[in-house]
Amino acid sequence: MCGRRACALAAAFQIMGLAVSVGAWADGASVQAAPTVPVQVVQYEALLEGARAFDGLKATIQGEAIGQVMERGTMAWVNVADQSGAIGVWMSAEEARSISMLGSYSCRGDELRITGTFHRACVEHGGDMDIHAETVAIVRAGERVAHPFSVARQVAAALLSLAAAGGLLLLRSRDGKRRALESKGAKSGKGGGHGC
Amino acid sequence: MRLRTDRRGRLAGFGELALGMAVEIAYIGAFFVVGIVVCLVCLAFHA
Amino acid sequence: MRNHPRKEDYLIILSYTGRVAIGLGIVCVAPMLVAIVEGEWSVLVDFVICAGACLLSGAVLAMLMPTEAHPGWLHGMVATAVSWLLAMVLAAIPYALSGHYGSYLDCMFDAMSGFTTTGLTLVLDLDHLSMALNTWRHVITFVGGQGVVVLALSFLIDGSAGSYELYVGEGKDERLFPSVLHTAKAIWKISAAYFVVGMVALWVTGVAIGLPVKAAFYHGMWIYMAAWSTGGFAPMSQNFLYYHSAAYEMVSVVFFVAGSLNFALHHAVLTGSRREMIKNIETISFFASFVILFSIVAAGLMRAGAYPDLVAMMRKGFYQVISGHTTTGFMTISARQFALEWGDLALCGMCVAMMIGGSAGSTAGGIKGLRVGALLLAVRHDGRRLLLPPSAVFKKKMHMIEDRYLGDEQVRAYAIITVLYVGMWVFATLAGVAAGYPALEAAFEAASVTGNVGLSIGVTAPAMPIFLKIVYILVIWAGRLEFMAILALGGFIVSAVRRR
């Protein structure tokens, strides 16, 4: 468990270092505190584990848009999930409306590549860990997911239902007989029972 | 809206229920107030 | 208690257990309706299988009731313990059929977590779960919470406030059923009133924060059930962080704090005794412990530099503390952020908050405000006794709905349960450390498990060792039943195997 965390942190710092170097080479200037050219997609887990290091920097994530778009005026929240977890992305409502499918039981949502500023505890959004998107690109459209029937399960369901119905009818008749016996016993003046 | 009262003049039924819920929500609201005060004190000390 | 159980005792217990299984089969109707409305036909089949299994096994077991049976209190207690285990096995069926779990053990973990209103989960890919299965997760939390309230209140409202003292060997001579039915009616009325208010509030707020109307209804229903039962399951993998909304968080706080209050208190306040809200030992002790513990957590968060301003401190610090202290378990941060950003002082404060928990006679877990308040009162009484002359007489009372005598017997009972809770927490912590987790993380998760909270620091995960999953299941089960039913079961087993 510690090994995984260390690897994730190391990867995060490597990516950051790469980004800084490429940015410096492109600008022909000295290393800047905030690199402007991200080069590689970062997994959510790397952002989480290296949150303090990544805070305020630009990052690129790629993942599936899930759940619902929540429009808040001219902006919107879209939650994006990759293999390692999900993060909220704050983008313009217009960009959000370009997303045609969101992940759910019946759909795989559009896969998005988002570049934006990562916040460990966003001041604008009450301390949320989020990304304020600068560019949003749909790399793969979503699609409906089929959930086919299993014949074996349908047969099992039918058999169990029949058996359960039979069992309940039998139980009901036994309960009726016991109630009749109890009321007979009460009429003849027998006392109540004691617990163990 | 006139609330129903019983013979002793106390609220009965829906009115009583609503007032009771209001009292409970006020108790819960006190937690928010205390929370804000505690945060402000901590932030002030830290500043 | 009889020295050696007779065959009749086993049959009575199994028969009671069967009735619970039948009830569970009926509960399957809720997710079935959702599956039909949403066109989730393969999921509908899964729930028909589950319902069939519940009803069939329940009918077979219920038929075992002897014709001339004399069920008593101990039968009820042992059946309670056993039926939770059977319910765990049966409720896991839809999970297993969904393909969203790594093993049947993981499915049973989630089922037990739901019934005990814990809220820890081992589900995979929650964001693609069917609506029906998400409904099932939340409904079993709701039903489990209500069931435990009925159980707990059947002691309190039955007039024997000292019934928490009743352990194995001290059987009650009266039938449990009549008082349980009476208590259940009162509970359902209170729950119905809050259900209407809660559903409307969450639905309207959900729409206001941008959820589509249908989604806002479903999320509102699920979140209400999880909040009122202080369960903490949420329909999305980010838990409450999914909504990115202070308003939605605030509304949830109202309903999960309300759910953590003693139902006897609700009954008193909602039927005119409104002063009870500030006189009750539990409301006082919960408020006091919250102030102290949130101060500790806030100081820890400031020291760790976790959150930059008041709003973030409230939405993250305050929210997690009140969620933990009420044993709800909704989270507005990722689990790993506890470990990475909160610092040791804040985590220690959280552990204590989770262990103390909410009120007795509610859906909350933990040691309970009643016991903590009563023990502190007892310390105060003993302090006064030391200072006053030996011949001095003073009233040792506490106020809970009415003034009650706080005698040595009651204090002893509360202390024993408290010691059992702390002992179980130590056991769960050691298990976590043995599994390779750092001590404070193991302690945090253990507190969450022991108090049926549901906040996670990242230990609870599908990759968790099998033995730790089993330990957590047992701890969740024992903690929820507050040891009473477990001790009854233990005593029953001992008496069964012991020679005459």
Q: List chains touching B (3+ CB pairs under 8 A).
A: C
**Interface contact flag, A123 C42, Cβ < 8 Å:** no
Please give the pLDDT value at position A19: 41
The structural domains of chain B, with segments of one domain joined by +, span 10-47
pLDDT band at B14 (very low <50, low <70, confident <90, very high): confident
pLDDT of residue C154: 57
Same domain, A115 and A175: no
Q: What is the pLDDT of residue C2?
A: 54
Q: Show the tokens assigned to A41.
A: 């997609």
pLDDT band at A16 (very low <50, low <70, confident <90, very high): very low
Highest mean pLDDT among A125-129, A192-196, C77-81: A125-129
Q: B35 contacts in C (CB within 8 Å)?
A: 294, 314, 318, 322
Q: For residue C152, what pLDDT band results from cuts at 50, 70 and 90?
A: low
Q: What percent of chain C has pLDDT over 90?
A: 70
CB C425 within 8 A of CB C446: yes
> What percent of chain C has a predicted confidence (pLDDT) above 70?
91
Give yes or no: residues A134 and A155 share one domain.
no
Task: Please indicate, yes or no, whether residues A73 and A168 belong to a single structural domain of this protein.
Answer: no
A28 pLDDT more than 90: no
pLDDT for C238-270, tens place per residue?
999 999 999 999 999 999 999 999 988 998 999
Q: Within this chain, do residues A95 and A153 fall inside the same structural domain, yes or no? A: no
pLDDT > 70 in chain B, percent? 74
- Whether A9 and A66 map to the same domain: the answer is yes
Q: What whole-number distance in Å separates Cα of residue A128 and Cα of residue C337?
A: 11
What average pLDDT does the structure give for chain C? Answer: 90
Identify all chain C residues contacting B21, using CB atoms and an 8 Å cutoff: 193-194, 197, 270
Per-residue pLDDT band at C181 (split at 50, 70, 90)? low
Residues A69 and A161 in one domain: no
Domain presence at residue A194: no
| Rounded average pLDDT over C339-353 | 98
Report if residue A14 sits inside a domain.
Answer: yes
pLDDT of residue C57 exceeding 60: yes
Give C81: exposed, middle or buried? Use CB within 10 Å, 0-12, 13-18, 19+: buried
Domain span at residue A168? 149-186
Tell whether A192 is covered by a domain: no
- Share of residues in chain A with pLDDT > 90 (%): 67
pLDDT at A189 over 60: no
Query: C 419-478 residues with CB below 8 A of A?
Result: 436-437
Quote the ipTM score.
0.90
- What is the mean predicted confidence (pLDDT) over A156-174? 96
List of chain C residues whose C-beta atoms are within 8 Å of the C-beta of residue A192: 70
Question: Do A91 and A181 lie in a common domain?
Answer: no
Higher pLDDT, A24 or C289: C289
> Are residue A88 and residue A171 in the same domain, yes or no?
no
Alpha helices in chain A (DSSP H): 2-27, 44-49, 51-54, 93-97, 151-187
- List the one residue out of C223, C218, C307 whose CA is nearest residue C31: C218
Q: Is the pLDDT of residue A127 over 90?
A: yes
From the list C362, C359, C345, C364, the residue with the least C-alpha distance to C451 is C364
pLDDT of C444 > 90? The answer is yes
Most confident among C294-303, C368-377, C408-417 (mean pLDDT): C294-303
Same domain (yes/no): A114, A182: no
Q: What is the pLDDT of chain B when averaged over all its residues?
A: 84
Whether residue B40 and residue C310 make contact (CB cut-off 8 A), yes or no, is: yes
Q: A72 and A90 share a domain?
A: yes
Q: Is residue A191 part of a domain?
A: no
For helices C29-38 and C41-62, the axis angle rounded to 10 degrees is 160
B chain contacts of residue C269, beta-carbon cutoff 8 Å = 20, 23-24
Q: Is the pLDDT of residue A185 over 80?
A: no
The CATH number for A14's domain is 2.40.50.140
pLDDT interval class at A18 (50, 70, 90) = very low
pTM here?
0.88
- Are residue A135 and residue A62 in the same domain, yes or no? yes
> Do residues C39 and A163 lie in contact, with contact meaning Cβ atoms separated by under 8 Å?
no
Per-residue pLDDT, averaged over C491-500, amounts to 80
3-state secondary structure B6-24: CCCCCECCHHHHHHHHHHH
Question: Looking at the partner chain, which of C48, C59, C241 has a beta carbon nearest the beta carbon of A128?
Answer: C241
User: Which band of pLDDT confidence, cut at 50, 70 and 90, is reported for residue A68?
Assistant: very high
Q: Does residue C369 register a pLDDT over 70? A: yes
User: Quick check: A12 pLDDT over 70?
Assistant: no
Q: Is residue A28 part of a domain?
A: yes
State residue B3's pLDDT score: 53
Mean of pLDDT values over C321-349: 97
Helix (H, G, I), strand (E, B) or coil at A132: strand
Q: Which residues contact C429 (CB under 8 A, 6 or more apart)?
A: C439, C442, C443, C446
- Quick check: A35 pLDDT over 60? no
Task: Answer yes or no: is pLDDT of B43 > 60.
Answer: yes
What are the beta bridge partners of residue A88?
A79, A130
Query: Do A51 and A108 lie in a common domain?
Result: yes
Lowest mean pLDDT among A1-5, C222-226, C347-351: A1-5
Domains in chain A, number: 2
Q: Which residues pair with A103 in a beta bridge?
A: A66
Q: What is the mean pLDDT of residues C56-84?
A: 86
